[in-house]
Structure formats: structure tokens, C-alpha cells
């Protein structure tokens, strides 16, 4: 998989620092959202959000670990904060009933973990107290993935796309004030039938009691957006690492094909509906999920490889607002990508032959990533866009003035990452996604492509996203 360890976390730390620093230095920023306490929570979320990639005791399925790693990060952190250097946070900044916990406690003996989905403090009685600091960090980790929705609207948007919420957001909707970690573990272990959770619901980020909910929602949104934008070739490594990664994908795809073929042959001789038949179907499904995870790595790999640099830029500008006779000084916070020519060219080489199994028959199929991205680009060109900025973006891509692979990269990143994440963070009656509440009134935000290592777009960068906050009224 693409690196989610030291290289990613270090680069994300710098991106967050540059983003917040540019706001604080040039505007004073939104002091509620970026208070000292919130900045501490944010950097701890940056540092801890991906520790769940190591998995836990409930699954050895790589695809499931990848899909639920945010919830696993929260689980590991709350179970044993000392293992991650955060015992000080648990000891000195928690409510009285949480203090003094030692590592190795079972969920029923660990209020933080047992009442992980309780909306209020770590008490069985469901008191009205707000969450302690370490639970806030845990929730930031859980909700950095889009399958842990921020609001009811983002849950609806997620379901429209055919996605399912991570099980770590699930709670038994049985009228109790909380749903315990013990109950979730029984479900994850399958010791209780899945039908026992048929009445479950999804715990949203907006459900939790925190001191300043709008600001906390902004923190979670900022972590999610900047985590998605931390795209860089350093995450795929050297040329030797790239070749090794390609070989790994081919070898593991061959393994999946053999496992699927084996499963299909076994299922032919089993009685449908028997325990053995159901167990083998489960194994086959796991192999299929793993193969899909492997195949999507090709686009993740190229998306990173094509980026030479990503940086935060502050630009002063003159802005004129409705009802004003003259322009007033303002600014724009810009996240700018410079693409890498060599990385862009690699798209032309990603054509692996992947073994697939259909009805017990194993065949090889050519996987041409460029053709797939080009088909998605054509779909984008034929889809009506909701804003003038997005219309201009698509029209510029269609003009043919940009290099082909740069155009495909920009279309993919804009649609699959940036626009999708913006949509998931919108709340009812709010004009901007949660993460942009960090911006003071009158400050703009944009995400651009400045060109590539051999060809600059000069003073006309490609704008993937543009947003302007309204000027405050007195």
C-alpha cells in the first residue's frame, strides 16, 4: 500500500503547519477554531490517525483493516494511550472516573473504551458532561475517514454513493443511553448473530458533546481535507521501491486468483447452505475484497507518483464586495500542486495483466489505467457542473491546451478527492464545508495546479477548487 507511516505523517504535519501558520501570520485566523487547545488536538490527530493500519484482534483481512483503520486507531489509542506516548493526556486531562487507568484493562473496566460511543462523558449513567481530551483525539482519528460521517447530511451523501459506515460508528439503537464497546466486540467477533445488531444506528461526529461543537467539527473537517491533499511522490519511494511495489501487486494478484479458483472448485462439491459452504463463501468474499484493494492501489500509486511538490501560498489581493465603492485588501490561501513529468509519464506504463476468476475459470485481463481514467474524464465532461468555477475547470480540460496526463490527473483528483470531500462536509443551511470555517471573513481559498517540472502554467494556474468567504457586515 501507499505509505501511511513516517513519510506521510511527517509531510502531513508540515502541510497542516503551513496551512495554519499562513492563516495565523496573515489574518489572525478564526481564533475559535484554531485556539491553542484545538491546535493541540489537531496535531495529535495528525500524529495518531493512521495507527489503525496495523490492525487489531478483530480482523486479519487487509481490505477490512484498510476500510476501518480510523476506528481501529481510536480503539488502540483509548485502550492503551501509554503505548503511543499519550498517557499524560489521559492522566492529566480526563474526568475523575477516567484517571488512573492502566494498560491492559478490559473494555468493561475502561470507561473511555467501554463508552466510546456514548455522546457524553465516560460514565454509564450518561451524564451531561463533555468529552475528555483523549476521547476527542480518538474521535478525530475515527472520523478522518469518509465512512465515519460528520453529519446526518454527510451520512446521506455517503449512502447515495453505495458506501457503508464503518462498524466502529455503529451502536445498538435499543433505547439505552449508550452502546458499549463490549457489545461491539461481541459483534465484531461474531459471537452474537449479526441479526442482533439489525436495529443499530450510526454515531455521527455532530452527536458528541464537546465544549465548542462548531469548532470541533471544523478541526475534523480540516484533518480530513489536508490528509486527502497530502499527495506526494515521496510516499511511493525511490525507483527501486516503485519496481518492488509493482512486483508486490502482481504477486498478490496472482495469489488472489489462485485462492478464488480454489474456492470455486471447493464450492462445487459442497452442499449449499451448509456451515462449510457458508464459511468458504466468506473466505472467497475476503479474497475478492483483497483483490479489489490491490487493484485500486494502481491509481493511488500513480496519483502520488505524479506530484513533485505541494505547498501552501498566501496571496494578497484587492477585493470589492457588493455595496462598496472601492476595493479593500484581502487575501487568498492557496494549496498549489506542482506535478512531476516523470511520474505523469508512468501512467502510460500501467497496463498489468491481472488474473481473474469467473465461474471457476481463471483468465488474464489487461488492466489499462489510462483508459479507465480517460473514460471517467469523458463522463466528467458530459456531466453538468453546479458552479461557474467547476464549469470553467472542465472547459479548460476539454480545450486540449493541457498535456494529456496532467489533464487526467487533475480531473481524477478534483472529482474523486476534492469535490467529494467538500460535498461530505457540507451541513444544512451552511454555505461552506466544515474545514473552511478556519478562514476569517473575506478570505478566499483555492486549490490549484501550477504546472509540471518542465512546463509552468505561468500566471494562469489550473483551479481545481475556489471559494470566497463573505465579508463580515457591521
Spatial contact of 118 and 126, defined as CB atoms under 8 Å apart: yes
Q: How far is CA 346 from CA 243, 245, 330, in A?
A: 12, 14, 40
Q: How far apart are CA 368 and CA 355, in angstroms?
A: 14
Q: What count of other Cβ atoms lies within 10 Å of the Cβ of residue 196?
A: 13
Spatial contact of 448 and 335, defined as CB atoms under 8 Å apart: yes
Q: Reduced to 3 states, what is the DSSP secondary structure of residue 364?
A: strand
* pLDDT value of residue 125: 46
Q: How far is CA 338 from CA 99, 227, 289, 344, 463, in A?
A: 48, 18, 34, 11, 13
- Residues counted in the chain: 474
* pLDDT value of residue 411: 96
* pLDDT value of residue 326: 44
Q: Reduced to 3 states, what is the DSSP secondary structure of residue 358?
A: strand
Q: What is the DSSP letter of 16?
A: H
* pLDDT value of residue 324: 46
Q: Which of 258, 256, 348 is nearest to 293 (CA)?
A: 256
Cα dihedral sign for 210, 213, 217, 222? negative
Q: How far apart are CA 228 and CA 443, in angstroms?
A: 22
Q: How far apart are CA 120 and CA 127, in angstroms?
A: 6
Q: How far apart are CA 152 and CA 167, in angstroms?
A: 16
Provide the β-strand partners of residue 365: 354
Q: Reduced to 3 states, what is the DSSP secondary structure of residue 279?
A: helix
Which residues contact residue 160 at a Cβ distance below 8 angstroms, ignoring those fewer than 6 apart? none
Helix (H) or strand (E) holding 129: none
Spatial contact of 367 and 298, defined as CB atoms under 8 Å apart: yes
The tens digit of pLDDT for each residue in 93-146 reads 665 555 555 444 566 667 788 888 888 876 654 455 788 899 999 999 999 999
pLDDT per 10-residue tile (average), the chain, 474 residues: 84 94 81 87 95 86 88 92 88 61 59 82 62 92 94 86 86 68 72 58 90 91 95 82 82 86 88 86 84 83 93 79 50 94 92 68 78 94 93 94 95 94 72 84 91 89 86 45
Q: How far apart are CA 374 and CA 470, in angstroms?
A: 37
Spatial contact of 438 and 222, defined as CB atoms under 8 Å apart: yes
Q: What is the DSSP letter of 197?
A: G
* pLDDT value of residue 226: 96
Q: How far apart are CA 70 and CA 77, in angstroms?
A: 11
Q: What count of other Cβ atoms lies within 10 Å of the Cβ of residue 272?
A: 8
* pLDDT value of residue 348: 93
Helices marked H in 80-212? 87-92, 111-114, 133-142, 152-160, 181-188
Q: How far apart are CA 325 and CA 131, in angstroms?
A: 48
Q: Which of 149, 92, 90, 84 is nearest to 122 (CA)?
A: 90
Spatial contact of 133 and 41, defined as CB atoms under 8 Å apart: yes
* pLDDT value of residue 238: 73
Amino acid at each position: 500500500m501507499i505509505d501511511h507511516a513516517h513519510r506521510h505523517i511527517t509531510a502531513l504535519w508540515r502541510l497542516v503547519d503551513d496551512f495554519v501558520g499562513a492563516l495565523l501570520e496573515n489574518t489572525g485566523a478564526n481564533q475559535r477554531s484554531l485556539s491553542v487547545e484545538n491546535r493541540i488536538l489537531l496535531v495529535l490527530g495528525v500524529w495518531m490517525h493512521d495507527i489503525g493500519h496495523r490492525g487489531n484482534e478483530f480482523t486479519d483481512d487487509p481490505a477490512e483493516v484498510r476500510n476501518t483503520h480510523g476506528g481501529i486507531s481510536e480503539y488502540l489509542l483509548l485502550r492503551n494511550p501509554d503505548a503511543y506516548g499519550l498517557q499524560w493526556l489521559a492522566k492529566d486531562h480526563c474526568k475523575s472516573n477516567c484517571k488512573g487507568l492502566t494498560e491492559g484493562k478490559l473494555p468493561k473496566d475502561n470507561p473511555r473504551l467501554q463508552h466510546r460511543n456514548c455522546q457524553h462523558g465516560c460514565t454509564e449513567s450518561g451524564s451531561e458532561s463533555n468529552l475528555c481530551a483523549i476521547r476527542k483525539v480518538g474521535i478525530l482519528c475515527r472520523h478522518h475517514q469518509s465512512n465515519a460521517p460528520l453529519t446526518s447530511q454527510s451520512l446521506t451523501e455517503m449512502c447515495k454513493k453505495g458506501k457503508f459506515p464503518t462498524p466502529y460508528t455503529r451502536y445498538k439503537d435499543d433505547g439505552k443511553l449508550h452502546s458499549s464497546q463490549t457489545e461491539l466486540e461481541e459483534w465484531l467477533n461474531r459471537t452474537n448473530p449479526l441479526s442482533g445488531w439489525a436495529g443499530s444506528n450510526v454515531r455521527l461526529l455532530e452527536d458528541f458533546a464537546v465544549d465548542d461543537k462548531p469548532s470541533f467539527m471544523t478541526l475534523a473537517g480540516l484533518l480530513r481535507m489536508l490528509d486527502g491533499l497530502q499527495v506526494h511522490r515521496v510516499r511511493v519511494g525511490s525507483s527501486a521501491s516503485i519496481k518492488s511495489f509493482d512486483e508486490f501487486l502482481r504477486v498478490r494478484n496472482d495469489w488472489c486468483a489462485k485462492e478464488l479458483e480454489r474456492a470455486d472448485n471447493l464450492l462445487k462439491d459442497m452442499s449449499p447452505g451448509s456451515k462449510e459452504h457458508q464459511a468458504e463463501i466468506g473466505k472467497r468474499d475476503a479474497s475478492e475484497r483483497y483483490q479489489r484493494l490491490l487493484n485500486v492501489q494502481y491509481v493511488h500509486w500513480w496519483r502520488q507518483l505524479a506530484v513533485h511538490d505541494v505547498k501552501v501560498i498566501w496571496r494578497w489581493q484587492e477585493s470589492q464586495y457588493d455595496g462598496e465603492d472601492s476595493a479593500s485588501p484581502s487575501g487568498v490561501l492557496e494549496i498549489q500542486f506542482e506535478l512531476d513529468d516523470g511520474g505523469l509519464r508512468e501512467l502510460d506504463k500501467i497496463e498489468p495483466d491481472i488474473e481473474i476468476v469467473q465461474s471457476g475459470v481463471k483468465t488474464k485481463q489487461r488492466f489499462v489505467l489510462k483508459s479507465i481514467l480517460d473514460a471517467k474524464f469523458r463522463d466528467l465532461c458530459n456531466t453538468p457542473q453546479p458552479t461557474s468555477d467547476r464549469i470553467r475547470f472542465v472547459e479548460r480540460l476539454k480545450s486540449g491546451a493541457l498535456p494529456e496526463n496532467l489533464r487526467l490527473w487533475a480531473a481524477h483528483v478534483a472529482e474523486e478527492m476534492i469535490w467529494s470531500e467538500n460535498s461530505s462536509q457540507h451541513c444544512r443551511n451552511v454555505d461552506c464545508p466544515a474545514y473552511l470555517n478556519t478562514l476569517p471573513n473575506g478570505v478566499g481559498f483555492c486549490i490549484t495546479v501550477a504546472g509540471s517540472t518542465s512546463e509552468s502554467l505561468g500566471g494562469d494556474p489550473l483551479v481545481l477548487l475556489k471559494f470566497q468567504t463573505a465579508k463580515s457586515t457591521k
